[in-house]
Structure 1
Amino acid sequence: MTQHLTDRAARAWITTMALFAETQPSGFHRDGPAGTAELVTGAPMPLLNGIISTAAEPDADEIAEFAGSPRLTSVAWSLQVRGGRVDDRIAATAAAHDLGQRTLLPFMLKDLESAVEPEAIAVREVSSVDSALYRTTMAAGYEGPAELFSVFAAPSVLDHLAMHGYVAEIDGTGVATSFGVLVDDMVGVFNIAVPPPFRRRGYGRAATAAVLRDAYALGARTAFLHASPLGVPLYEAMGFVHAENWSLFTR
């Protein structure tokens, strides 16, 4: 993967977040000239609110200015920058806002050079008609209360032209979810969730493949995602490359 492609994918990632914010009643997004973004989706997850720099060299002053936004006082939020090495001034800004927990998020890319072969497991695209199924399956996969995941199953999300949600089912039971957001010739992959009783059976892989297959048909040629460290081997087996790490600061 070239640095240029990684830079493009990072910018596409924040675009997907801005699109998601637009679907939410209290959503807000703004970009600074140095590559810093303020993102407020209203979702009860710090990853989906906060100050994010997608610049190859984050601007510490712009990040500090954006971190003072009053809009962040009403949400759980994070500070995110690309790279594993972080300017001491950026780390100090995080500390000043009590964001003392630091972790690394692998950022992975995959060239979509040909159509992805369908998996043997049936996966279907969903719409707002399937909101309850999508929400409860995703919640079971992340092992959290279903109400926390309502933001991902709203009609404004599941019926959005650039957004595509998927569910894998076995005998009417949801066994995996996935979600893709198209940005030009790229697709962001999100919400890969498999409830504990159904893990290690290929359902997550099948749900991911459905996103890639349909995105390729719609013109996407590169896929990107953030993986947990445990998820890296799964995505590498599907052809994703670990392009870089992002540094995440949370409470």
Structure 2
Amino acid sequence: MTPPVSLSAVNTNTPADRAARAWLDVHGALAATQPNGYLHLSPTGTAELVTGTQIPVLNGVIAVTRAPDAGEIAGAANSSRFEGLPWSLRVRGEAVDNRIAAVAAAHGLEPRRPLPFMLRELTAADAAPVPGARRVTGAESAAYQRALAAGFDAPLDGMAIFAHPRLLDHPSMSAYLIERGGEPVATAFAAHSGDLVGIFNIAVLPPFRRQGFGRAATAAVLSDAYAKGARTAFLHSTTDGRPLYDHMGFHLAENWTIFT
């Protein structure tokens, strides 16, 4: 198991650059909670991430610089640590170097798709409490896992990595449930890196969709994060989730490209 890597010396220091490094920081922290977790970062910003899960976006090669090194990416893609695991390759931006696309194709990582990377500055207004929201501890991992599976319409076992007590009780991470009448209706997860917070696992259980609970789950993260000192939030949005985040004041910083 490899500890999280500091990325402060990699690349430039625009808000998107800082958020990209924070994104990798929190994924390194995730890997560090797993028995076979691993993160290696090259001096020029090519990362090899392994969590050991069967979710391809949580294993793979990630370039967090604006000008990724195709040779480094090719070398990292040959890592034996990916054997037996589904994995992905992701880079920042949409204009992907043909040599990098060729590396992805050589490893059967097709098709490619864009990943909107969105940012939002936090203000004191975000500190308002969210009715029905509460933080989940490791003692409630089973209930949180069930809610995640229902919210994502996913197999229960596939959500285990996101609900492990080591993750829920991690000092830089927080899991949340939105409840109505004592029953879960939505989930959220936050991971902190300095004064930035990443938002993940916003999911609403099927009977409660389109009733504002996705917004409430996101607001719960922002409220708690502001109280903890976060001043910028970042997330990757799905196509379906994009209108919600636009309405909540997030803006598109850049698109990333992922090959799976």
Measured against aligned partners, the alpha-carbon deviations of 1:99-129 in whole angstroms (never above 9, x if no partner) come to: 0111100000000132415465311000011
Query: Is 1:93 the equivalent of 2:103?
Result: yes
Q: Which runs of 5+ in 1 are unaligned?
A: none
Query: Is 1:45 the equivalent of 2:55?
Result: yes
Distance across 1 between alignment mates of 2:114 and 2:48: 20
Which residue type is aligned with residue 93 of structure 1? V
Distance across 1 between alignment mates of 2:180 and 2:109: 41
Query: Is 1:211 the equivalent of 2:221?
Result: yes
Aligned to 2:161: 151
Which residue type is aligned with residue 80 of structure 2? P
| TM-fit CA distance, 1:169 | 1.1
Conserved? CA contact 1:102–1:248, under 8 Å: yes
Q: How does 1:165-204 map to 2 (within 5 A)?
A: 165-204=175-214
Number of aligned positions between the proteins: 249
* TM-score where L is the length of structure 2: 0.93
Match of 1:60 among 56, 70, 83: 70
Match of 1:129 among 136, 139, 143: 139
Distance across 2 between alignment mates of 1:29 and 1:47: 14
Q: Secondary structure at the match of 2:95?
A: coil
- Identical positions, percent: 53
| TM-fit CA distance, 1:34 | 1.3
Distance across 2 between alignment mates of 1:143 and 1:54: 30
Distance across 2 between alignment mates of 1:130 and 1:171: 18
Aligned to 1:106: 116
| TM-fit CA distance, 1:170 | 1.6
Aligned to 2:3: none
| TM-fit CA distance, 1:52 | 0.4
Distance across 1 between alignment mates of 2:121 and 2:67: 25
| TM-fit CA distance, 1:3 | 7.2
Conserved? CA contact 2:129–2:223, under 8 Å: no
| TM-fit CA distance, 1:44 | 1.7
Conserved? CA contact 2:222–2:233, under 8 Å: yes
Q: Secondary structure at the match of 1:74?
A: coil
Distance across 1 between alignment mates of 2:127 and 2:174: 18
Aligned to 1:140: 150
Match of 1:27 among 25, 33, 37: 37
Conserved? CA contact 2:28–2:39, under 8 Å: yes
Runs (4 or more) in structure 1 with deviation over 4 Å come to: none
Q: How does 1:217-228 map to 2 (within 5 A)?
A: 217-228=227-238
Conserved? CA contact 2:130–2:219, under 8 Å: no
Distance across 2 between alignment mates of 1:120 and 1:25: 35
Which residue type is aligned with residue 209 of structure 2? R
Query: Is 1:77 the equivalent of 2:87?
Result: yes
Conserved? CA contact 2:127–2:226, under 8 Å: no
